[in-house]
Amino acid sequence: MFPKKNIHIISTESLGEKPNEVLNGIFEFLGVTHHQINTEKKHEKGNYKKMNDSTKELLQKFFVPRNKKLYDLIGMDFDWK
């Protein structure tokens, strides 16, 4: 659909761990001037009920082949479990 060179994929984990490095990569990809963005403010996670273990296992098994296909396509592995 689109050439790989036109798509820039990041993980929310890497954005949370090293935001300035990830943002600089985005600016570079877009070919725009780098900007300093305040990344100090952290948002709280929502409070959700714990997922039923059998539901979680069912979803994990369902997505294994789909995630593998995605990882192969984009050349990245997010190790989603």
Q: Where are the domains of the chain?
A: 1-39, 51-81
What's the pLDDT at 2?
81
Average pLDDT, the chain: 90
| 60 vs 70: CA distance, rounded Å | 15
Q: Which amino acid is at 53?
A: D
| 19 vs 34: CA distance, rounded Å | 13
pTM comes to 0.70
The SS3 assignment for 7 reads coil
| 19 vs 57: CA distance, rounded Å | 31
Rg (CA), the chain: 17
The SS3 assignment for 45 reads coil
What's the pLDDT at 39?
83
Please determine, for residue 1, whether its predicted confidence score (pLDDT) is greater than 80.
no
User: What does the pLDDT look like over 24-47, one tens digit per residue?
Assistant: 999 999 999 999 888 887 778 788
